[in-house]
Amino acid sequence: MNLPLFVPRRGVLLSLLLALCSLPVLADEAALSMDQRVAALEAYVTNTDPGKSLTGIPGPGHNGWMMTSSALVLFMTLPGLALFYGGLVRRKNVLSVLAQCLGIAGLVTILWWAVGYSLVFGRSFSGSGIGRFLGGTEHLFFRGVTSAPNTDYAYWVSQNVYAMYQLMFAIITPALIVGAIAERMKFSAILCFVTLWMLVVYFPLAHMIWGATGLMNGVWNPGAGITAIDFAGGTVVHMSSGWSALILCLIIGPRIGFGREKMAPHSMVLCMVGTGMLWVGWYGFNAGSAVGADGIAANAFTTTTLATAVASFTWGMIEKIFRGHASILGFCSGAVAGLVVITPATGFVSSTSAVVIGLLAGSVPYFFVSTVKARFGYDDALDTFGVHAVGGTMGAFLTGLFATGAVNSNLTSGAAVKNGLARLVTEGGLWREQLKAIVLTLLLAVAATYLLAYVVKAVVGLRPVPEVERQGLDLAEHGEEGYIE
């Protein structure tokens, strides 16, 4: 009569054992001990190396977060940036901005699938000198990019998910550039320029900073020549696009009527809606760069919030004090500036540092956008240089001052010990490596853009004819009107 009590328990134990035995990876791993397998599960929770067990299998939580983050970062471009920039241009050019974002999204995806992912995150070039600048060819056309993790970059995130996540960064970076040349560059010229720019600037730069064999990957490459750190893209995304934007806007020249005619934003409502989407999406950009749903992501989530809110408020208050009223554009610009400056630092710095960064982010770009731009008179239409170049450069440098192993132990262990980064983080001096990375990024962006702009100018031409520019790009280039009365 005790049987009913015992049979279920034995049955449960048996079922559990059977279930564990049926895991595919254990088909030829029958020798693994229970300790090893439990350790593997613990590694899933702590986002670390599972060793021999559970290899090739993504962890649901980490993978789920990264898929969400990917969607969030795409949301930043479509429609976040599209609306943010779209609201800032004149009515007759609103569709041109939307078209540029959509066109770049498709174009960059094709480039990424074909060559981009492999050139940035491959490793087949390592051993040759070129391996510091480009990854490899083993993943061309996404060969080998499956749902199994690529342990160069993550133990628990599918490689295809990681590739998609990084694709969203690759999309938004060139999309930022269009802010500087808004309302006066041909659609065909933009697509040509972006194609070349991705190959010459973005893929090499992203590999150098984030690739396993990259020259400037201080956290993960034990052989890094420059032990710089960049959590979510202060150099790769913001500096590259911002400085390139400046050169492009200088070469292309100002809009017709710049300085004389009224070129006010046609919809601050759309601009603000876009800003909100950028902020929310940026959680995927920053916290997702932890490549896992772990404590570092949690830190990034927090620092992102603090820096952005403080920066937005600061910018608004500066306007209130110096101009009499806080404007919507001020709050929006401050928020974006805060997001930009915290980007390289987000998973490396403390909450307090984030607040300090926010204060600087709300004030220094303000100065560039209002005073410096007016002084030098360049037509950086939507302030890509003032916010992204200045913010990204400042953020990259501040990261060198505020990064701490207390927040992110990867700074003081593993590869960081081998290449000297750990010592710089604990003893000081990281800012010198950051400066090297800053200079290299700046030189690459400026020199390459200078060259590519003239190539595109010669082959396709950069500006539309004056009549088209006057009429508005929407009708002539896209055959559509944004708002039909």
Partner 1 sequence: MKLIVAIIKPFKLEEVKDALAGVAVQGLTVTEVKGFGRQKGHTEVYRGSEYTVDFLPKVKIEIAVADELVTNVIAAIGRSAKTGKIGDGKVFVLPLAEAVRIRTGEHGEIAL
The residue among 40 and 263 lying less far from partner 1, judged by its C-beta, is 263
Amino acid identity of residue 415, one-letter, is A
The residue among 39 and 382 lying less far from partner 1, judged by its C-beta, is 382
* 257 contacts partner 1 (rule: CB under 8 A): no
Residue with tokens 């991705």: 198
CB of 445 to partner 1, least distance (A): 23
Alpha helix (H) residue ranges in 253-327: 268-287, 295-323
Overall size of the chain counted in residues: 485
* 16 contacts partner 1 (rule: CB under 8 A): no
Subset of residues 34 to 73 that bind partner 1, contact rule: CB under 8 A: none
CB of 325 to partner 1, least distance (A): 9
The contact pattern for partner 1, residues 444-473, with x = CB under 8 A and - = no contact, is ------------------------------
CB of 268 to partner 1, least distance (A): 9
CB of 176 to partner 1, least distance (A): 17
The residue among 154 and 270 lying less far from partner 1, judged by its C-beta, is 270
* 264 contacts partner 1 (rule: CB under 8 A): yes
CB of 474 to partner 1, least distance (A): 21
CB of 330 to partner 1, least distance (A): 8
* 256 contacts partner 1 (rule: CB under 8 A): no
Q: Counting Cβ atoms within 10 Å, is residue 396 exposed (0-12), middle (13-18) or buried (19+)? A: buried
Q: Give me 411's structure tokens.
A: 């700074």
Q: Which range in 27-35, 108-116, 181-189, 324-332 contacts partner 1 by CB under 8 A?
A: 324-332
d(CA 298, CA 290): 9
Q: From 300, 370, 364, 371, select the one nearest 337 (Cα to Cα).
A: 364
Alpha helix (H) residue ranges in 112-201: 117-121, 159-177, 187-197
Q: Kindly calculate the radius of gyration of the chain based on its CA atoms and give it in whole angstroms.
A: 24
Query: Are 463 and 252 spatial neighbours (Cβ–Cβ below 8 Å)?
Result: yes
The residue among 127 and 377 lying less far from partner 1, judged by its C-beta, is 377
Q: Out of 52, 323, 418, 470, which residue is the one contacting partner 1 (CB under 8 A)?
A: 323
The contact pattern for partner 1, residues 356-375, with x = CB under 8 A and - = no contact, is -------------xxx-xx-
The contact pattern for partner 1, residues 331-350, with x = CB under 8 A and - = no contact, is --x-----------------
Q: Which range in 37-45, 258-266, 346-354, 444-452 contacts partner 1 by CB under 8 A?
A: 258-266
> What is residue 107's three-state secondary structure?
helix
CB of 88 to partner 1, least distance (A): 8
CB of 153 to partner 1, least distance (A): 38
* 265 contacts partner 1 (rule: CB under 8 A): yes
Q: Counting Cβ atoms within 10 Å, is residue 197 exposed (0-12), middle (13-18) or buried (19+)? A: buried
* 329 contacts partner 1 (rule: CB under 8 A): yes
Q: Which range in 104-112, 329-337, 420-428, 440-448 contacts partner 1 by CB under 8 A?
A: 329-337
CB of 456 to partner 1, least distance (A): 28
Residue with tokens 């490689």: 159
The residue among 107 and 335 lying less far from partner 1, judged by its C-beta, is 335
Q: What angle do CA 473, 477, 478 make, to 5 degrees?
A: 105
Q: What angle do CA 198, 203, 208 make, to 5 degrees?
A: 145
Q: Out of 281, 330, 395, 400, which residue is the one contacting partner 1 (CB under 8 A)?
A: 330
Q: Give me 476's structure tokens.
A: 């002539």
d(CA 175, CA 5): 66
* 443 contacts partner 1 (rule: CB under 8 A): no
The residue among 381 and 473 lying less far from partner 1, judged by its C-beta, is 381
Q: Give me 66's structure tokens.
A: 């990264």
Distances (CA, A) of 173 to 14, 30, 48, 177, 368: 54, 47, 30, 7, 21
CB of 172 to partner 1, least distance (A): 21
* 327 contacts partner 1 (rule: CB under 8 A): yes
Q: Out of 383, 433, 474, 477, which residue is the one contacting partner 1 (CB under 8 A)?
A: 383
> What is residue 35's three-state secondary structure?
helix
Distances (CA, A) of 315 to 312, 332, 361, 389: 5, 9, 8, 17
Backbone angles phi, psi at 149, to 5 degrees: -65, 145
d(CA 213, CA 261): 51
> How many other CB atoms sit within 10 Å of the CB of residue 30?
7
- Report DSSP state, residue 412: G
The residue among 10 and 262 lying less far from partner 1, judged by its C-beta, is 262
d(CA 60, CA 161): 12
The residue among 374 and 406 lying less far from partner 1, judged by its C-beta, is 374
Q: Which range in 182-190, 194-202, 214-222, 323-331 contacts partner 1 by CB under 8 A?
A: 323-331
* 263 contacts partner 1 (rule: CB under 8 A): yes
d(CA 214, CA 14): 49
Count of residues that bind partner 1 according to CB under 8 A: 15
CB of 262 to partner 1, least distance (A): 5
Q: Give me 87's structure tokens.
A: 């609201």
**Site residues (vs partner 1, CB under 8 A):** 262-265, 323, 327, 329-330, 333, 369-371, 373-374, 383
